[in-house]
Amino acid sequence: MPAYYEVWLTDDTGVRLGLIETPSRIEYVRKVDDDAVGEVSIHLPTDIDARLLGLLLGFPDRRLEIWRSTEQTIMRREAVGFIRYLFSETREDGTPSLVVSGPDQNELLQRRIVAYDKNTSQALKAGAADDMMKEIVAENLGADATDADRDLTDWGLTVQADSSAGASISIPCDWMRVDDALRNIADVSYEAGTKLYYGIVPVTGGSFEFRTWVDQPGRDRTDDPRLVFSMDRGNLRYVSSEWDYSREVNYVYAGGWGEEQERFITEVEDSARVNASAINRREGFVNAQSETDAGRTDEGEIELFRNQPIRRFRAEITDAPWTRYGQHWDLGDRVMVEHGGQAPCLVAGIHVTVDEDGRETIIGRCEWQ
């Protein structure tokens, strides 16, 4: 089934500057996992319009917007890339080429740090984990930033309303990169029993919204018996399983303020993992930043989470007539993968390429942990 693409160049506020009509290659990656920054890349034809070329050069954060439709789906904005890289070359045979690329909107979370002093309300967070995430974004990129130069509200960034769906935790975030602080919060929430996802999504026009999700960002499609991915059905191309206990830590000493005998220590354990065998207690130490026992506990939980045993199942699914991307499944959905049994897996990434002949390749990266 053919897909139809449009690639638009916009300025740094989303105002369209021109349609790039004949890119020789389109490639984009979308993600919803911990490394949630995607990317957009296009290869431009050698005879690109000089005016359009001039609009591309020397203007960081102008955008590439990728739009896609099929006979069964309406035109939708698939991906947005903020231009941060341009490479031009001419080979020995005189053939020129030009590649333009950049990260998607989630890279904005890497452009700010939690720029507030220790123990201030903006740096020491407590409450529902998803609400804490939204506070951090609003205070460092949004309307609640104490420095107006850091506020991207007029540029088009909003923050989703609180829903208090995450685990109740407390954690220090001072002087961390915003994305690192959000990842820490997600890790503690998961260790406490609630899986959280977060990200910035394009909404109307050229604007964006920071959002959080519980369990999965998309739809749970695992109860649809027609939507199963397997080698036999021709829509599953790769499967791997990993079982690794070699780096496990299940008992953490979280050291806080003080020195030697006067130092405050909080002990945090995952008792189920400790007792998995008679000798399975595997200890670790973390220099905690919190002055409270509750805060040191949460920092110990992060260490437990990041050193848990790896039990992972991964698969790569493909676009097929009976399981069409964008129609039957999408990024962030939970789908059923069949390989020696069935497992519900999250579509954590999408990698799409379109070659110079318009041939489209779609690979969905699925994970169960």
Give the rounded distance of the alpha carbon of 343 from its chain centre.
22
Buried b (16+ CB within 10 A) or exposed e, 50-70: eeeeebbeeeeebbbbbebbb
Question: pLDDT above 70 covers what percent of the chain?
Answer: 96
**Residue 260, pLDDT score:** 57
Task: Say if residues 8 and 20 touch (Cβ distance below 8 Å).
Answer: yes
Res. 326: pLDDT tops 80: yes
The pair phi, psi for residue 10, each rounded to 5°, is -125, 165
Please give the Cα distance from 327 to 74 (Å, whole number). Answer: 10
Task: Say if residues 9 and 61 touch (Cβ distance below 8 Å).
Answer: no
**Residue 88, pLDDT score:** 78
Please give the Cα distance from 183 to 197 (Å, whole number). Answer: 9
Question: Which residues face 313 on adjacent strands?
Answer: 241, 368
- Model confidence at 259, pLDDT cuts 50, 70, 90, reads low
**Both tokens assigned to 334:** 């939970």
Mean pLDDT of 323-352: 94
Mean pLDDT of 101-114: 96
- Model confidence at 46, pLDDT cuts 50, 70, 90, reads low
**Residue 21, pLDDT score:** 83
Can you say whether the dihedral through the CA atoms of 71, 72, 74, 78 is positive or negative? negative
**Residue 172, pLDDT score:** 86
CA-to-CA separations, 367 to 96, 216, 317, in angstroms, rounded = 40, 12, 11
Mean pLDDT of 87-95: 75
- Model confidence at 314, pLDDT cuts 50, 70, 90, reads very high
pTM: 0.87
In terms of pLDDT, which residue wins out, 289 or 70?
Answer: 70
Mean pLDDT of 264-292: 92
Task: Say if residues 332 and 217 touch (Cβ distance below 8 Å).
Answer: yes
In one-letter notation, the amino acid at residue 319 is D
Instruction: Give tens-digit pLDDT for 129-176.
Output: 999 999 999 999 999 999 999 999 999 999 999 999 988 988 889 899
Ramachandran category for residue 62: left, alpha or beta (phi over 0 → left; psi -120 to 50 → alpha): beta
Please give the Cα distance from 355 to 143 (Å, whole number). Answer: 42
Res. 54: pLDDT tops 80: no
The pair phi, psi for residue 244, each rounded to 5°, is -140, 110
In terms of pLDDT, which residue wins out, 204 or 266?
Answer: 266
Report the range of poorest mean pLDDT among 65-79, 100-114, 197-211, 288-302. Answer: 288-302
Res. 2: pLDDT tops 90: no
